[in-house]
Structure 1
Amino acid sequence: MNNWINDRVSLISKILTKGLWNSNATILMYHRVADLKYDPWLVGVSPENFEEQVQVMREYPVISMQQFVNNLKEGKLSRSVVITFDDGYKDNFYNAVPVLAKAGLPATFFIASGYTGRQKQFWANDLDSIFLTPGPLPERLEINTKQIQFSYDLGEENFISKDPIKQFQNWIAWESSPTKRQSLYVEVARLIKSLPPEQEEELLEILYQWSGKKKMIDPANLMMNENELKGLATDGLFEIGGHTVSHPELSAFPSNIQLEEIRENVHFLETVINRPIQGMAYPYGAYNKETIQAVKMAGLQYACTTQQKPTYKNESLYTLPRLRVRNWNGAAFKKRIELRLKLGV
């Protein structure tokens, strides 16, 4: 109860000191527009709910990311909404873009170029297959390689005792881990985020061998190819931004690797779409001082985080916060947007 009161007092204090008029613009963060069996990272919005959300957004001034940045530079933030998508999933192109185009709403797509046009899915899809699908797992995981040392005991919880869809469908990875199997999933996810690409692939191969499961690439989990990116770029409504090459947790790497990830990503995208890349989004929202310096050295104007907080007129262009959009229907989405635009929460 005391924590709730303290939170309310803090909110009121922010409103009084910063002013409601300073917290009336928000950047929305999407990842996927698809029906997902499991969604522990809250990256999915169903096509049905997305259409409802777009109808709600038509009630507000929706501006491009570049217009938002220009407004922020000039200190002219207004009551407005910006739409962004991270990663570059194909479902963005086929499920989101037609709906946005029909409504005439601009959006920016931040692309992890190491996945563009490849038969490669994000590690989270692999972990879903390994840990959240039926079939027993060995009671103990032991990894001892030159780069990775890791162990975990599942014990008798190596079996899934219930329907996995019912058991895991509403599980959110960062909120709780009710079983050892889910705890192991989270521990492996924490480890894999900080690995370079070759070690990530090595770890996934080890996990598949350990689990006895065969790696299957689901076409629904693939990223856009170059032609699809070109198609986005030729539509005046849509902008493309950077999201690194391999989608690493940038702050876990030395400055030279961070700069290389950002520069190579920008170069690839500019070559494909024949247009300058103006900004990026940090994978996992992770950054440090060296990351911001690398973004500037790469010639980018802005960078987005995953921080769930309001945007104020004095916001740094290199740590722009965003609102994670959940799989809300239109009514729930409208309530959330109103809270952000009116109260900045």
Structure 2
Amino acid sequence: MPDIPARQAVKYAVIRGVLDAIAWSGARRLLPSAGGRGVIFTLHHVRPSNGASYDPNAPLSVTPEFLDTAVQASLEAGLTPVAVEDLPELLADPADKRRFVSFTLDDGYRDNAEHAAPVFRRYGVPYTIFITAGFVERTHSLWWETVTLLTAGSDEIEFDFGGGAETLELATNAQKHAAYARFSTFVETAGEDEAVARIDALARRCGIDPLAVTSDLTMDASELRALAADPLARFGAHTLTHVNLRRVSEARLREELKGSAQAVETYVGRYPRAFAYPYGFAAAVGEREVEAAARAGFAVAVTTQPGVLSAAILDRPTAASRVSLNGYFQKKRYVEALLSGLAFKLT
């Protein structure tokens, strides 16, 4: 596993302890109701491990073997795999007592087609990929991937976060992680468009083409069209520019929602019924965004805020919780513990 900062290591140790306690105690069998009506899983990259000692995005990457394990664990737990956009209708049927699992993948990475789709086909499991039009069109960068390359490939870089130029030392993994955190905070707190543009400019000065990174990692329109031939594949919208929607104007919010849905229809020939909020945490999704997604006509919209499925999704289908399949927790017992729902009551 890659090196991680001390604070993150402590956090993960606590989470691992909770999941292990659930798995080894057998508590999930004593409290089956804690699992609700199932889960929506979140994934990003699905690809073989790169073995890097420094990878700040490692939580967003799981191996194809682990995805296979997660599918198996879900089926063994008695969950019925369904497409995420079908959940509200299924859960609204009082005669249907089944528990469900939906697999979703954000950002449209090429490895979703190369490594994830074959796993889903093996088990006949539907899956939904959320598409950002700016990535497909090669007009917007994945700043987190750009910053990873910047910090991984240099011993120092100079950047102005707003208080004058600073030299960031990058000789050790700890220094690299600290620099990555600075850039993340910069994107979260400054004007996001301007922050990303300045990161892209720095990357170019350092010999990195940020749009080439986008092209290397994400599917283009022709690849999406080819994948759409898979009857198990569904596609949802994920904005035009992958911006924090809570920080944009009303007009841009509407544009990001509607424009991305129209773009997805252009790529795959079907208008999307599902939407995923970029970032998805509480600071990126509020009541305004939830209501806007409903007005835009999405049957369901998903956050990254953890929780199991319940009847509450019928009241607020555009504020659905998801459960992350994290690259640092790639064991079957952790999936089983997550499916139990107990982890969300204990953390």
Name the TM-score, length of structure 1 as normaliser.
0.77
Listed one character per residue, the Cα deviations across residues 125-152 of structure 1 (whole Å, up to 9, x for unaligned) are 11011123342334xx325xxxxx3457
Find the counterpart in structure 2 of residue 225 from structure 1: 220
Offset, 1:47: 2.4
**Secondary structure of 2:341's match?**
helix
Question: Structure 1 or 2: larger helix share?
Answer: 2
Q: How does 1:98-137 map to 2 (within 5 A)?
A: 98-118=118-138, 121-137=141-157
Q: Specify which of 234, 243, 256 is matched with residue 239 of structure 1.
A: 234
**Secondary structure of 1:137's match?**
strand
Listed one character per residue, the Cα deviations across residues 109-139 of structure 1 (whole Å, up to 9, x for unaligned) are 111111115386411111011123342334x
- Which amino acid in structure 2 is aligned with residue 319 of structure 1? A
- Which amino acid in structure 2 is aligned with residue 339 of structure 1? S
In the aligned structure 1, how far is the partner of 2:275 from the partner of 2:247?
18
In the aligned structure 1, how far is the partner of 2:235 from the partner of 2:65?
25
In the aligned structure 1, how far is the partner of 2:217 from the partner of 2:189?
22
In the aligned structure 1, how far is the partner of 2:202 from the partner of 2:345?
42
In the aligned structure 2, how far is the partner of 1:341 from the partner of 1:61?
20
Find the counterpart in structure 1 of residue 66 from structure 2: 49
Listed one character per residue, the Cα deviations across residues 248-288 of structure 1 (whole Å, up to 9, x for unaligned) are 00001111111111111011111222212112010000222
Aligned-residue Cα RMSD (Å) equals 3.2
Q: Do the aligned partners of 2:304 and 2:321 also contact (CA within 8 Å) in 1?
A: yes
Listed one character per residue, the Cα deviations across residues 53-82 of structure 1 (whole Å, up to 9, x for unaligned) are 333334232122133121233465632211
In the aligned structure 1, how far is the partner of 2:217 from the partner of 2:343?
37
Listed one character per residue, the Cα deviations across residues 194-236 of structure 1 (whole Å, up to 9, x for unaligned) are 6677524531244336xx6211444785211212222333322
Query: Quick check: 1:67 aligned with 2:86?
Result: yes
In the aligned structure 2, how far is the partner of 1:150 from the partner of 1:130?
20
Gaps in structure 1 of 5+ consecutive residues: 9-14, 144-148, 162-166, 168-177
Q: Do the aligned partners of 1:20 and 1:344 also contact (CA within 8 Å) in 2?
A: no
In the aligned structure 1, how far is the partner of 2:330 from the partner of 2:200?
38
Q: Do the aligned partners of 1:243 and 1:265 also contact (CA within 8 Å) in 2?
A: yes
Q: How does 1:288-299 map to 2 (within 5 A)?
A: 288-299=286-297
- Which amino acid in structure 1 is aligned with residue 182 of structure 2? E
Q: How does 1:166-315 map to 2 (within 5 A)?
A: 167=173, 179=175, 181-193=176-188, 199-208=194-203, 213-216=206-209, 217-218=212-213, 221-285=216-280, 286-315=284-313
Find the counterpart in structure 2 of residue 87 from structure 1: 107
Offset, 1:95: 0.8
Find the counterpart in structure 1 of residue 317 from structure 2: 317
In the aligned structure 2, how far is the partner of 1:98 from the partner of 1:151?
49
Q: Do the aligned partners of 1:25 and 1:81 also contact (CA within 8 Å) in 2?
A: yes
Pair 52,289 (structure 1): closer, same or farther in 2 beyond 3 Å: closer
Find the counterpart in structure 2 of residue 174 from structure 1: none
Gaps in structure 2 of 5+ consecutive residues: 1-13, 19-27
Pair 269,54 (structure 1): closer, same or farther in 2 beyond 3 Å: same
Q: Do the aligned partners of 1:194 and 1:248 also contact (CA within 8 Å) in 2?
A: no
**Secondary structure of 2:80's match?**
coil
Listed one character per residue, the Cα deviations across residues 6-44 of structure 1 (whole Å, up to 9, x for unaligned) are xx9xxxxxx9xx992671311000011023435424110
Find the counterpart in structure 1 of residue 43 from structure 2: 30
Q: Do the aligned partners of 1:91 and 1:220 also contact (CA within 8 Å) in 2?
A: no
Find the counterpart in structure 2 of residue 40 from structure 1: 56
Pair 110,46 (structure 1): closer, same or farther in 2 beyond 3 Å: same
In the aligned structure 2, how far is the partner of 1:228 from the partner of 1:287?
30
Pair 188,159 (structure 1): closer, same or farther in 2 beyond 3 Å: closer
Name the TM-score, length of structure 2 as normaliser.
0.77
Count of residue pairs the alignment pairs up? 305
